[in-house]
Amino acid sequence: MNKKDLQWLRAFLVPVFLTGFMLLQMSAVQSAESASPEKALNFLQNVVRLDLARYNVTLASCYTEYPSELGGLPQTWFLYTFESEESKMDVQGQLIGDTLVWLKVYPYKGSLILSEPLPDDVLGMAKRFMQRYQNYSKAAYIQQMLSILEHVSELKSSNVTVGNVKLIISLNGPSTDIEWIYTSNGMEFPGKKVAFAFKSGKFISFMDQWNIYRIGSDDVNVDADEAVSIAREALKDIPTLYMRKGNETIAVKPTLGGTPPRVRLLTAAREPLTLYPLWYVQLYFDQVYGMYYAVAVEIWADTGEIRTIYPLGFMGATSPPSNTPPATQTPPWPQTPTETPQGENPLEQPEQPEENPPAGTEPEQKQNTNISTMPLIAALTITAATTITLTVICKKTKLP
């Protein structure tokens, strides 16, 4: 191959490689963008039985990201708008991989237009949704959840556990949550769950993370006391806290106090999408140091290994700044509506009834909800008192 042939080959291959590279890039972008938010439409059509034909449906936003906690799985967030003459709403949701894990309806006008009527009661609605979801997803775990729900005859806050599934029904004002949570060894794993939520008797949201999260372990080999001991040992040497004082920076060494620790058994992901039992141990300082008052130590309950340590604080303050106004406002002398009042300057400072308390410790103060009536009551009382006083003074000084 001579030099000329090589030049020709280079001239041909370089554009081919560049074009190929660009196409690869484009397909990567497209695959990220084309994660299927239509799954949400299928769900709404087949489970909620939304009459899509009667809406003008627009995919307002859709994007995919790859968060580390999902171990490389794509996470797609989407927002649909639904508009018709009678009804208007947004639907926001999330896919992990190709699974619709969350969907929420934001109604703005009218009710959902359905292709098939639903039962009037929330319990009946939930049962119907689960039947349809079972047909739609064909997942075996839905059948088990449905059979637990079928045994519920009255809608009230309650819970029942069958095997590894705990059904929790929560009624809170207009909201009803119906959730099936994975439970094992007496522990709940709320990340692994299926849920429907209703507000004022209408469907609001859906979630299914059952097949997204795995259970890494349900062994609790470290008890609560041991967890506290591990936490105390880890906090033998608390890092130095640096604080500003004017232009100076001062170092403080916080120490733990005698307040009993706060201990909770939780679950968290040790590897992506795999849940393990976790002790949360909160140990308190002996006093507030700047904006910090405690330290949290998280310990894996199966191995006793420390997951993380972090301080707990607040964005308030230990004392108000120097220019906090006096407890009583000094109002500007009012413009006289009719005539200037005579006498001494009335704006003398009354005694400060109490010190300004720090944030969070403020006792409940009387709210000023009746502020418009208070002056009238005060006015009547004061007028009566003044009249009596003046009468007494007049009598004593024998003024006419």
Partner 1 sequence: MKHQIVVGSLLALFSLLGLHFVSIEPVKAVDRGHVVLRATGTALQWFEQNGWPNEDEVSYEVSIYVSNLFWGSSAYNHGYYGNDIAVSKSNILSLIEEFNSYDYATFFIYTHGINYTMYDVVYISVIYRGWVPAAYYPVQHYQFWDSYDQAVNDYEIWPKTNSSVIYFIFIWSCAQGKEIGSYHASYWISQSIYYAGTGAAGMPCAWTHRNYTQMSSDGYANPDNGPYCFIGFEGWSKPLSEQITGTNKNYGDFVKNFYQNLLQNGRSINQALDQASRAIWGYMGVQDFDDTVFYNGYWDSVPGRGLWFGKMHVYGNGGNTLPH
User: Which residues within the stretch 102-161 sit at the binding site for partner 1 (CB under 8 A)?
Assistant: 102, 104, 106, 108
Say which residue the tokens 């009719």 belong to.
Answer: 338
Residues 182-201 contacting partner 1, CB under 8 A: 190-193, 195, 197
Pick between residue 15 and residue 358 the one whose CB is nearest to partner 1. Answer: 358
Pick between residue 30 and residue 323 the one whose CB is nearest to partner 1. Answer: 323
Min dist CB 71 to partner 1, Å, is 12
**25 scored as a contact of partner 1 (CB under 8 A):** no
The closest of 197, 160, 157, 203 to 181, measured between CA atoms, is: 160
Tokens representing 349? 């400072």
Pick between residue 162 and residue 234 the one whose CB is nearest to partner 1. Answer: 234
Cα separations in angstroms, 317 against 32, 43, 97, 282: 46, 49, 45, 21
**280 scored as a contact of partner 1 (CB under 8 A):** yes
The closest of 236, 248, 253, 234 to 292, measured between CA atoms, is: 253
Cα separation, 279 vs 298, in Å, equals 6
Of the candidate residues 153, 225, 371, 396, the single one contacting partner 1 (CB under 8 A)? 371
Alpha helices in 106-139 (DSSP H): 122-137
Tokens representing 270? 């040790």
Pick between residue 15 and residue 257 the one whose CB is nearest to partner 1. Answer: 257
CB count within 10 Å of CB 79 equals: 17
**300 scored as a contact of partner 1 (CB under 8 A):** no
Min dist CB 214 to partner 1, Å, is 12
Interface stretch with partner 1, choices 24-32, 42-50, 224-232, 279-287 (CB under 8 A): 279-287
**391 scored as a contact of partner 1 (CB under 8 A):** no
**337 scored as a contact of partner 1 (CB under 8 A):** yes
> Between helices 140-150 and 122-137, what is the axis angle to 10°?
160
Interface stretch with partner 1, choices 32-40, 111-119, 136-144, 304-312 (CB under 8 A): 304-312
On whether the CB atoms of residues 176 and 169 are closer than 8 A, the answer is: yes
Query: DSSP character for 185?
Result: T
Residues 259-278 contacting partner 1, CB under 8 A: 259, 262, 266-269, 275, 278
**368 scored as a contact of partner 1 (CB under 8 A):** yes
Pick between residue 7 and residue 356 the one whose CB is nearest to partner 1. Answer: 356
Residues in contact with partner 1, total (CB under 8 A)? Answer: 125
Please count the residues of the chain: 400
Burial class (CB within 10 angstroms; exposed 0-12, middle 13-18, buried 19+) of 202: middle
Tokens representing 308? 């993380």
Min dist CB 346 to partner 1, Å, is 2
Residues 316-335 contacting partner 1, CB under 8 A: 316-318, 320-329, 331-332, 334
Tokens representing 97? 């991989």
